[in-house]
Amino acid sequence: MATDVIGTVRDFVDAHVMPLEAPFLLHGFKAVEAELERVREVARGLGIFAPHLPEAMGGRGLPLTVVGEVSRVLGRTPLGHYALHMQAPDISNTELLLRWGSEAQRERWLAPLAKGAIRSCFSMTEPEHAGSNPVVMSTRADKVEGGWVLNGRKWFTSAADGAAFAVVMAVSDPEAERAHARASFFIVPTDTPGFSIVRNLPVMGEGLAVGEAGWASHAEVVYEDVRVGDEALLGARGAGFAMAQERLGPGRIHHAMRWIGIAERCLELMVARAASRELGPGLRLGHKDTVQGWIGRSWAELEAARLFVRQTAEAMEHEGQKGARLAVSGVKLLAAGMLDRVMDRALQVHGALGMTDLLPIAFWYRHERAARIYDGPDEVHEQVIARELLGRAGMPKPARAGA
């Protein structure tokens, strides 16, 4: 079954999604949005639309290992995940609603989101505070009669442009003894008074006005006296950080396998360029020892990352997220670094062409360099792994914080 699904997805991507890549790279998401909806209908007809969802919601109920392999195939093109409705942040927001949403929240928000009838965004990072320490947060949710009032500023709220609702993390219990019990998640419809998108953030020179970028965007958002009802609270009060951690585990597998797919495509492009680019009579770029070294090392690093991610996905299925915690940090660290190196080599092999948007390498270089930053920067994951191993070796905790 898994092989059939993956094969169908691969053929679908090649036949229906790849042709949209060039106009997307040159003209942006809005230029292909209408055609993407037609492509999504094709995916529905093939029975591969949102395959990660339970069968009762129209999906295939695929296990995490198979979802990861599908994500790898989709990662070969920037539009792959959107075409199958497996794009961030909707896939993770769907998981939040599936696990913690009330019956009313599932009916109002999850049902249309699962069908791809609406989009959502995730609003957590703040410009004033380091994302590596998420317990430090300024956005507040003050309890009032019948609901909550939210005030704060977020940025890198991905896909806010055109989203129907935001999942927002805000401090709801500032006096809680435990710092990790002070924040909650809220569902905020984007047409609520006080919700406003300040701008779509320009990323390495790429940026479009609000209303023009659509899903492929990262917004700065202001919440100014945004009033929502009690029903807006997602999950338990004060459980925001615990829910965010649960969200991150499968999310890191999704990301890592997408990065594997991107790296595979970059390697394919690198090999094709090296094999065909003439440097002189009878001499191809691929004849150079340096280029051969880049290709060989990229293949080895990519395969190592792919196998590690798959092994970790299997561990999560059998041991749960807690049991696979160390490996989850490891795959995030390893896959993000691998992607960075393979993209850089691919761009270098293509020379000036690699800098243009005639190929997807420059697009990925702009957007996926952040792989080593979001969902925990490399340095945090290095520390998580090191502290666990040092603790197993008997090293005591430091005598004072920061020592």
What is d(CA 77, CA 16) in angstroms, rounded to the nearest whole number?
Answer: 11
Q: Per the domain annotation, does 317 fall within a domain?
A: yes
- Residues 236 and 224: their CA atoms lie apart, in Å, by 24
Establish if 109 belongs to a structural domain.
no
Q: What is the SS3 assignment for 356-385?
A: CCCCCHHHHHHHHHHHHCCCCCHHHHHHHH
In order of 131, 204, 213, 260, the CA distances from 368 in angstroms are 17, 11, 18, 12
Domain boundary among 182, 217, 238: 238
Q: Looking at the structure, do residues 250 and 233 belong to the same domain, yes or no?
A: no
**What global pTM score does this model have?**
0.93
| Cα 342 to Cα 359: distance, rounded to the nearest angstrom | 15
**List of the chain residues with pLDDT < 50:** 403
* 266 shares its domain with 193: no
Residue 313 within a domain: yes
CATH number, domain of 56, equals 1.10.540.10
CB 345 within 8 A of CB 296: no
Could you give phi then psi for residue 72, rounded to 5 degrees? -60, -45
CB contact set of 92 (below 8 Å; sequence gap of 6+): 122, 247, 250, 251, 254
CA–CA separation, 206 vs 201, rounded Å? Answer: 8
Please give the tally of structural domains in the chain: 3
Same domain flag for 49 and 138: no
In terms of domains, do 234 and 250 share one? no
288 in helix, strand or coil?
coil
Give the residue numbers spanning the domain of 233: 120-238
**pLDDT for 1:** 55
CATH of residue 377's domain is 1.20.140.10
Amino acid 115 reads K
CATH number for position 227: 2.40.110.10
Same domain, 343 and 365: yes
Which residues, in sequence order, are CB contacts of 213 under 8 Å at separation 6+? Answer: 28, 29, 30, 161, 200, 207
How many Å apart are CA 114 and CA 101, to the nearest integer? Answer: 13
- Nearest CA to 240 out of 176, 177, 172, 175 is that of 172
Q: Pick the last residue of a domain from 194, 223, 238.
A: 238
pLDDT, position 86 = 97
Supply 241's token pair. Answer: 């950080």
Sign of dihedral through CA atoms 62, 36, 107, 219? Answer: positive
| Separation between Cα atoms, residue 53 and residue 95, nearest integer Å | 9
Q: Are residues 170 and 28 in the same domain?
A: no
Residues 6+ apart with CB under 8 A from 61: 53, 54, 55
147 and 272, same structural domain?
no
∠ CA 316-319-325, nearest 5°, is: 60
Q: How many CB atoms lie within 10 A of CB 23?
A: 12
Judgement on whether residues 75 and 142 belong to the same structural domain of the protein: no
In a domain, 106, yes or no: no
- Among 44, 68, 87, residue at a domain's last position: 87
User: ∠130-133-137 over CA atoms, to 5°?
Assistant: 75
- Domain membership of residue 107 (yes or no) is no
Q: What is the pLDDT of residue 85?
A: 97
Whether residue 327 lies inside any domain: the answer is: yes
Number of H helices and E strands in the chain, helices first, is 13, 10
According to DSSP, the residues that pair with 184 across neighbouring strands are: 170
Angle, helix 325-350 to helix 361-368, in steps of 10 degrees: 140
Residue type, 160: A
Q: How far is CA 181 from the centre of its chain?
A: 25
Regarding whether 124 and 190 lie in a shared domain, the answer is yes
Q: Are residues 375 and 253 in the same domain?
A: yes
Are 270 and 368 within one domain? yes
**DSSP 8-state code for residue 182:** S
Q: Write down the residue that tokens 């991507």 correspond to.
A: 13
The rounded distance, in Å, linking the Cα atoms of 117 and 280 is: 54
Residue type, 387: R
Residues 230 and 246 grouped into a single domain:
no
For residue 248, the model assigns a pLDDT of 75
Strands 120-123 and 165-171, sheet pairing: parallel
Q: Tell whether 78 is covered by a domain.
A: yes
User: Is 162 within the bounds of a domain?
Assistant: yes
